[in-house]
Structure formats: structure tokens, C-alpha cells
Structure 1
Amino acid sequence: MARKFPQNPSHPERICWGCDLYCPAKALACGNGAERTMHPAELFGEDWKSFDRTLGLADDGRHRATSGED
């Protein structure tokens, strides 16, 4: 079973969030020259869960064509 993903950790910069390992930032187990993956709270702010991921998508998940008529 996968670990529960923390919503707003106290120090997200100390951990890599790229997989279920949650490695310390200085000891990445992914290898392959990997860099630390930032937590969504670092990228989008503490209200990252309310970010609307559907903006610009049609009902079938494809990007909508934009026209000047709207």
C-alpha cells in the first residue's frame, strides 16, 4: 500500500517527492543523476489542492481550441 501523501509538510525542501521513497534531499535513491522533485506546495503555494487542473481542457481531456469569439 502506498504511503499517504502529506498535504502541507513542515519542511518540504528536505525531502524528494518524486516517488514513494521520500528520500532525504541529499541522498536520492533514484540514482541516474536525479534531482530533487519539489512538493506541490513549494511550486503552487499552500493552497495547491484547490488548483483547478481542468483549465483549458475539453470534456474529453484534450485542450480546447481558443477562438476570439469568447
Structure 2
Amino acid sequence: MAKKFPLHPKHPERICWGCDKYCSVDALGCGNGSGRTMHPAEVLGEDWYLYGDWGIEPDDDGKNVRPDGH
């Protein structure tokens, strides 16, 4: 099962959002040699999850989502 994914993290620039590891930007664990993957809020704005077909639903607290609503 995938980890919870925060809708609005406090400091998204400190984390790579490219997989379920959520590594620190200075310790990327995937080893693919690429740079950090930005959080969708950094690219699309705070309401990023309201538009498009992400296949996600916010948790009851409205702070996190899980893929496919799981």
C-alpha cells in the first residue's frame, strides 16, 4: 500500500516526491542519478488536487491523500 501523500506540506522543497521513499534532497535513495521531483503544489499551486484525474481522494482530515482513495 502506498504511503499517505500530503496535500500541502510545510516545506515541499526539502523532499523528493518521486516515489514512496520521500527522501531528503541531499540524500536521494533511488540512485537513478536524477534530481529531485517537485511536489505538485510547487508546480500547479495549492489547489493542484482539485483538477484533473489524479485518482486520489483526500483523507477525512483533508491533509493527506492516498492513490485510488485507499
TM-score by length of 2: 0.70
Instruction: List aligned pairs for 1:22-33, cutoff 5 A.
Output: 22-33=22-33
**What is the rounded CA distance, in whole Å, between the counterparts of 1:8 and 1:35 in structure 2?**
21
Q: CA deviation at 1:34?
A: 1.6
Partner of 1:17: 17
TM-score by length of 1: 0.70
Is the strand fraction higher in 1 or 2? Answer: 2
Mapped pair 1:46 → 2:51: no
* Residue identity in the other structure for 1:15: I
- Matched positions, count: 53
Q: Larger RCO: Structure 1 or Structure 2 (Cα < 8 Å, ≥ 6 residues apart)?
A: 2
Identify unmatched segments of 5+ residues in structure 1: 54-70
Q: Which runs of 4+ in 1 moved over 3 A?
A: none
- 1:37 is paired with a residue of what secondary structure? coil
